[in-house]
Amino acid sequence: MKQLFSTVSRPFLPMRVVQVRERIWFDDARTGALLVLGNYQQLEKVALYEPPFFESPITSVNEPVCPLPKVGDCLVPRLTPSTSAANPWPTLREWQLCSPAMAGVTAIPRSWAIHPGDLVRLVHQVASIRHPSLQGLMNALLGEAQRAWAYLRMPASLNHHHNEPGGLLRHSLEVVDYLMGLWPMNSPALERDLLITAGLLHDIGKILVYRGTQGYTDLGQVLHHDALTLEILGPYLATIDPTLANTLRHLLCRSDRASQYPRSALKAALQQADALSAEQYYQRQAFEGLPSYRYRGRDLQGQSWYRLVSQRKS
């Protein structure tokens, strides 16, 4: 059976198969499977009835069948609403398998995110990258399920800023927000694309360093996350223009010997935005729970902070 769309079906965003329950007997006496499909917008429980799904690999000699999607598969589905009171789930009528790299960040299930709103912001930021190689790199990198899961759920640190689950993604998004405020609006589009890409990926090595919020991994005890960021990106940088790849390497390398190499305003902006996100986190922490008229507070490290208090109307 060919997995093709009819010309009248409306397009759907790619979805990832999150869960599969096989050999289901539905209340209306039909059989099949119950799947959970997800992307950044929604989670959908759908029914796949027999046929077109068959448990047997073939129905007769040389006649291929439509296989049951597997957990982790990315597909573009055509769903039809349920017409049965017994089975309230939409029906998966047709689908087209697509590669995780093609599905990209849009096929990340919102259930993976600690804060689903942050996942929506991530998708919008990646969509705003105009350069096809850089957008393709982001989608290929985060199309890998295990990496995307960790990126969405890992803290940005264990004992410092954004040290809660989901902190890595939130910090990365804040860095991009600061970068877009720091960098001139009339600058070349490629410069802004590079800053968005570098801002989102500057700490991705931390997914190999932390064991959630519980401590360091074995690798994290012997290597700094900066080195692992470039290791993760290596296979993807090898697929794009060498000059573009080297610019990203320049932006993301924070070696102790970096002073021997050329500086750039792009890299200075990234470093400043990174620091601003951390400082803003500490300031929010210092004034959490304090009344609005208080202009001094202390963060959990004991550092004193000052903020401007709104002037009261006389």
Question: CA 229 from chain center: how many Å?
Answer: 16
Rounded to an integer, the average pLDDT of 206-211 is: 92
Q: Is the pLDDT of residue 9 over 60?
A: no
Please, are residues 37 and 16 in contact by the beta-carbon 8 Å criterion?
yes
Residues 174, 185: Cα–Cα separation, whole Å: 18
Residues 203, 183: Cα–Cα separation, whole Å: 20
How do residues 235-262 score in pLDDT, each as one tens digit? 999 999 999 999 999 999 876 677 788 8
Structure tokens at 64: 């291929």
Residues 258, 226: Cα–Cα separation, whole Å: 12
Looking at residue 52, its pLDDT comes to 59
Whether this prediction's pTM lies above 0.85 is answered by: yes
How do residues 105-129 score in pLDDT, each as one tens digit? 999 999 999 999 999 999 999 999 9
Give the bridge partners for 48, in sequence order: 33
What percent of the chain is modeled with pLDDT above 70?
89
Rounded to an integer, the average pLDDT of 33-43 is: 94
Between the CA of residue 155 and those of 168, 174, 213, 225, 307, what are the distances in Å?
5, 14, 7, 13, 26
